[in-house]
Structure 1
C-alpha cells in the first residue's frame, strides 16, 4: 500500500487550485469577505486532508503492529497528538 495514495494527492491538488483562485481574487481586488470565505474553505480542506493522512497511516501502522504482536496504544496516542498539533 502506498502511504499517500492518489486520492490524497488529488485532494491537495484541488486545494492548490483553490489557493491560486484566492490569489486571483486578490489581484482582482475582490471584497474582503469573499477572500476570507475562500481562505476558510482552504483551511477546512487542509484540516480534512490532515485527517485523511493521519487516519490512513494509523490504519497501516496498527495492522503491522497487530501482525507483529505489538501493542498499539502508543501509536494511537501519537496519531491523536498529531491531529491536536495540526489545529
Structure 2
C-alpha cells in the first residue's frame, strides 16, 4: 500500500491543478505572452510540484519508513536509504 493512500484524493487534486497550470503556460506561449509572465507561471508550477513532493515524502516517512523501522533489520536500512536518495533528488532540483 502506498504511504499516501489516506490522502490520495488530495494528491490527485493537487496534481490536476498543476496540470491545469501547465496547460495555461502552454497557452501563454502560444499567445506570445510576455517572457517574464511565462517565467513567473513556470516558477509557480515548480513551487506547486515541490510542495506536492514534500507532502508525498512526508507521507512516505510517516508510513512506509516508520513501519520498516519498527520491523527492523535490512528492510529498515533499505527504506531509510531509499528515503535519503529521494530527498537528495528533491534538493538537487
* TM-score grouping bracket, smaller chain normalisation: 0.7 to 0.9
Residue of structure 2 aligned with 1:33, choices 33, 36, 39: 36
Q: 1 or 2, which has the higher helix percentage?
A: 2
Say what the alpha-carbon RMSD is for the aligned residues.
Answer: 2.1
The number of aligned residues is 86
Q: CA deviation at 1:75?
A: 3.2
Tell me the equivalent position of 1:22.
25
Residue of structure 2 aligned with 1:9, choices 2, 9, 12: 12
Question: Per-residue CA shift, 1:29-79, capped at 9, x if unaligned?
Answer: 1000000000011011111111111110111123423543x2656534432
**Cα pair distance change 1:58/1:13, threshold 3 Å:** same
Assess if the C-alpha contact under 8 Å between 2:18 and 2:48 holds in 1. yes
Instruction: Give SS of 1:29's match.
Output: coil
| CA distance in 2: counterparts of 1:75 and 1:47, whole angstroms | 21
The aligned runs of 1:53-72 (5 Å cut-off) are: 53-68=56-71, 70=72, 72=76
Assess if the C-alpha contact under 8 Å between 1:50 and 1:83 holds in 2. no
